[in-house]
Every structure is written in structure tokens, then in C-alpha cells.
Structure 1
Amino acid sequence: MATDTKTALLDVAEHAVRAREFDGFSYADLAEAVGIRKASIHCHFPTKATLSAALMDRYHATFDAECREIETSHDTGADRLKALILLYRNALNEGKTLGLCVTLISSRASLSDQVIEKIKDFRAKMAARIEAIFALGQADKSISGIANPASEARAALALLESAHLSARAEENVQTFDEAVEALNSRC
């Protein structure tokens, strides 16, 4: 049962962070949502710092698996880029939530050094993945106008993250679509 409770806590906490940011929920909120005593949460996650580290680990593993699926199911750089854009878009839940990493970036002042390092690691790995997509797109000529895949990757990651924030601010996924249109149109 402990694993099920731990998973339920992670699920509820992730939704809370993505919808209300890191400081927008408490252990009391989690306890009520999962149906346990607040003190019981501390058995699984002694602090909010340990909870946020576990959230980042799980999110990174899930996102990594989704990116590997994109790599195995799409042959061209353009198809991989479009699939990655869709992955980011779907994380918006129609503008009601953000991707976990994007949300946590905006809560940086409240995070432990360990979680900040996990965010940096996640973003570095995403930039490397996007760079590989642009390198493939340059080689197979499926993405136009690529001068430097590494620079393109950093710009694309910044665009995806800021488009997330804009869509969340307006609670409108169309805002995301409009923001990434220039990136999509290169495919």
C-alpha cells in the first residue's frame, strides 16, 4: 500500500505544482486529496524539498521515455520537431497547467539546490535532444534555415518554455500554437 500512497501523493503534488506552482499547495492539501493524515506524508516525503526532487526525477524519466519514443517513431528532423512541439503542447492541458520543469523554474526561489540542479540537468538534456533534432533536420533538409544546431536548440527550448508561460497566463492553448508557429513553419 505504501507504494500506492506514494504514487498518489506524487500524482496529486505534480498536478498541484503544474496548476498552482510550487508554493500554491501544502501538505494539508495533499493529505486531503489522497485521504491520509498530513503526518503520514512525512513518512514518504519528509520535506517539500524531497517531494520536489522526487517529482523532478519522475518527470525527467517520463519525459525522457516520451522523447525516446519520438526518436524511434519519427525519421526526419522535421517530424521529430513537430512531435516534440506537440509533447510540450499537450502538457498544457488546454492552458490549465504547465509542464513541471517550466513551473518549477518560476518557483526557483522556493526550491532546494538539489532541485535547481535537477532542473538544470533536465534543461541541458532537452537542449541536447533538440540540438540532435536540428542536426538531423539540417542533414536531411527537413528543417529550413539551420545555421547552428546548438544555437537553434537553445532558442527553441526558450521559445517552448516561454510559449508555455504565455498560454498559461491566458489559459489558452492557442497562445502556445501562435507562439510556436514560426518554429513549426520551418518544417
Structure 2
Amino acid sequence: MTVERNDTKTKILDAAEGFIVQGGYNAFSFRDIAEAVGIKSASVHYHYPTKADLVSSVMVRYTADFSSQLPNPNSEKIAANVLLNGFINGFKTKIVEQRNMSLCTMLTSNKSVLPESVCVELAAFYQLILDWLTQVFVRLDKIDKEEAFMQASQLLACLHGASILVQGTNQPDFFDRALSGWKARAV
């Protein structure tokens, strides 16, 4: 019985994530989730009493999954430039090849309507990325953490800006143009 419950929760989270990526926080209702999963709306409420609970859970899972895919930024087995290049290419895959905005970009664009619990999880995700990139830049450029954090912030802003530009213009080559300087450093 527990397995079925977990499968249902996973399906609910998957459906919610898909709706958010396609249209943001207000792009779905519990009824939409129920229909997508093939359950009753009351079942969605059973697992996630509020939309804030549901979207916060989506973010917690997304952050955990993302974190598990990040290589150790201090591992001597992987060069810092390879880590940086891999991160940029991973972002490109999502934005250009899959033609999707990232979950966090969509939620950030809706920040004014997000419940506080979702904002907390969103901030935790961005902090995870900034901390990881900071460690990569410390290794790559042999600089202190403050300067590395500034570079991490600039790269993340460039990645998000490039993703908006690509989606807004429907011109995928803008991604490579916007990131050309960062990619050159990752060679």
C-alpha cells in the first residue's frame, strides 16, 4: 500500500512540475493535476493539502535531484573547466534542445504571487547553485570566495537571461552567443 501511495505522490509531483514549466505557478489547479494523474481532486488534497504544500514539495524534490547530479566541485578527478562546461551545457540542453524554461525560472517569474514556503525553497535551490559554482570558480581561477561568488552570480544571471532570450525570440543560437565568453573560459 505504501508503494502505491508513493507512486501516486510521484505522479502528482511530476504533473505539477510539468504544469509549472509550461505556464508557471498559476497554470494549474488541483483538478488539472487530478485529471493528469487519473485520480480524484480529493486525492491530490490528501497528499498535498494546499497548492503551496504541493509546489514546495516539487521544489524540494527538484533541488534534491539537481544536487545529486552535481559532481563534487572539489574533486581532483574532474577539472574545474570541465565542471563549468558541463554545467553550461546542461542548462543549454534544458533550454535549447528541450525547448523548456527551467522550473525555477518559471517560478521566479511568478515570485510576486508565490507563497512564502515556495519562495524559501526557490531561494534554497539558487543558493545550492551559487555555492557549487563558487567552489568551481575558486578552483578554476584560483581566486577568493567573494570574487568567485560574484562570478557565479554573473554566470547564473547570464544563463537565465540567455534562456529568456532564446524562448522569447525562438532563436536557439542566442544561447551560445550569450554564453560565448563563459564557454571560452571553460575550455
Q: Scaled by the length of structure 2, what TM-score is found?
A: 0.87
Report which stretch shifted further, 69-78 or 128-137. Answer: 69-78
- Asked if the contact 2:73/2:135 (under 8 Å) is kept, the reply is no
Amino acid at match of 1:11: D
Match of 2:173 in 1: 174
For 1:114, the equivalent position in structure 2 comes to 117
Q: How does 1:133-144 map to 2 (within 5 A)?
A: 133-139=136-142
Kindly report the root-mean-square deviation, in angstroms, between the aligned alpha carbons of the 2 structures.
Answer: 2.2
- Aligned partners of 1:87, 1:54: CA distance in 2, in Å? 23
Distance change in 2, residues 1:66/1:114 (3 Å): same
Answer with 56-65 or 74-83: which moved more.
74-83
- 2:150 maps to 151
Tell me the distance in 2 between the aligned counterparts of 1:35 and 1:123: 33
Answer whether contact 1:89 1:173 (CA < 8 A) is retained: no
Secondary structure at 1:98 match in 2: coil
Query: Unaligned 5+ residue runs, structure 1?
Result: 142-146
Residue by residue over 1:110-132, the C-alpha shift from the partner in whole angstroms, topping out at 9 and shown as x without a partner, is 21111111211221221111111
- TM-superposed deviation, 1:68: 2.7
Match for residue 25 of structure 1 among 24, 28, 43: 28
- Does 2:53 match 1:54? no
Which residue identity is paired with 1:32? E
- The correspondence of residues 40-119 of structure 1 with structure 2, limited to 5 A, is 40-68=43-71, 75-92=78-95, 94=97, 96-119=99-122
In 1, distance between residues paired with 2:179 and 2:71?
22
Deviation at 1:11, TM superposition (A): 0.7
Query: In the alignment, residue 38 of structure 1 is paired with which amino acid?
Result: S
Identical positions, percent: 28
Amino acid at match of 1:152: Q
Contact 2:95 2:163 in 1 (8 A): yes
> d(CA) in 1 for partners of 2:92 and 2:139?
22
Please report the TM-score for the alignment, with normalisation by the length of structure 1: 0.87
| Deviant stretches of 4+, over 6 Å | none
Distance 1:55 1:73, change over 3 A: farther
Q: In structure 2, do the counterparts of structure 1 residues 69 and 151 end up closer, same or farther at CA, with 3 Å as the change threshold? A: closer
